Amino acid sequence: MSHSEFRTRLAARWHSADSMLCVGIDPELNRIPEHLRAQDDAFLQFGKAIVDATAEHVCAFKPQAAHFAAEGHEDQLAELIDYIHVNYPEIVVILDAKRGDVGSTAKLYAREAFERYQADAVTVNPYLGYDSLEPYFEYSDRGIVVLCRTSNPGSDWLQKSQLANTPLYLTVAEQVSEWDTGGQCMLVTGATYPEELAHVRAVVGDMPLLVPGVGAQGGRVKEVVAAGVDSQGYGLAVSSSRGIIYAGEGEDFAEQAGVQAALVKQDINAARS
């Protein structure tokens, strides 16, 4: 299978930065350091500082759309993504939006992610079936990051339900593998379920996995790496947000974020050896 530009760039970054760390950018106004909080573009300035401080340690950035949109700061999100593209073009940007709809609405969500925000990939919900993913596949150079086995405890009621004696999350993994003829897809598989992460890896081969849940949610890097790496010893984007971006609260917040990102990267690489 040929891979999309997104997957090719992600794999190149794994090697060039020797990193499988993805930093999530989830700004909250009451947690942005006080010296930035009063600025009209506080979300943008906070995000740029985090990006500059952590870029050398990451394979991807994952800004969370709702954190910007809820405050009416969509334009700052677009500017932040543009800033990353201009200054760190080798690092992919995954827009964490978890979209899921069909028809003309799905087409507009795809257009929003890939044209308005110029994201390299976007998280999507597969619950409505292939119809909800099809518009994203039309952007053949972009990535589609499909929810599979999420890290939150409340996901069990649906994702572990049995369908023909197979848990639903594995059915999702199998189906997405069939749909992914252009090598665009990635699956979201939570760090809090390492055994199930291993089951997903066994089903999807070397498809990359976005793994949230380390740090604040309690997922353990060593278990994630043991369960999830691909046949080349890579294949993961291990995502940490709050544990990195809020490592410091004062004017040195970005420096502290950089220190924490370096530590998480080291932990991931130590687990690979």
pLDDT digits (tens, 9 = 90+) for 41-95: 999 999 999 999 999 999 999 999 999 999 999 999 999 999 999 999 999 999 9
DSSP states along 221-232: HHHHHHHH--TT
- For 61, other C-beta atoms within 10 Å of its C-beta total 26
Q: What is the pLDDT of residues 143-201, one digit of tens each?
A: 999 999 877 667 665 656 677 778 888 999 999 999 999 999 999 999 888 999 999 99
Range of weakest confidence among 26-30, 217-221, 242-246:
217-221
Q: How many residues comprise the chain?
A: 273
98 catalytic residue (yes or no): yes
Domain 5-272 sits in CATH at 3.20.20.70
Instruction: Quickly count: other Cβ atoms within 10 Å of residue 169's Cβ.
Output: 27
Would residue 21 be called left, alpha or beta, if left means φ above 0 and alpha means ψ between -120 and 50 degrees?
Answer: beta
Q: In this structure, what token pair is assigned to residue 168?
A: 């639903």
In the set 62, 98, 107, 160, the catalytic residue is: 98
Model confidence, pTM? 0.95
> Please, which residues have CB within 8 angstroms of residue 193's CB and are 6 or more apart in sequence?
149, 151
For 90-130, write each residue's pLDDT tens digit. 999 999 999 999 999 999 999 999 999 999 999 999 999 99
- DSSP H or E segment with residue 202: helix 194-204
Residue 235: half-sphere exposure toward Cβ, Cα within 13 Å: 22
Average pLDDT over residues 261-272: 96
Per domain, the residue ranges of the chain are 5-272
Yes or no: say if 233 and 272 are a contact pair by the CB < 8 Å rule: yes
CA separation for the pair 218, 213 (Å, rounded): 6
Give yes or no for residue 253 having a pLDDT over 80. Answer: yes
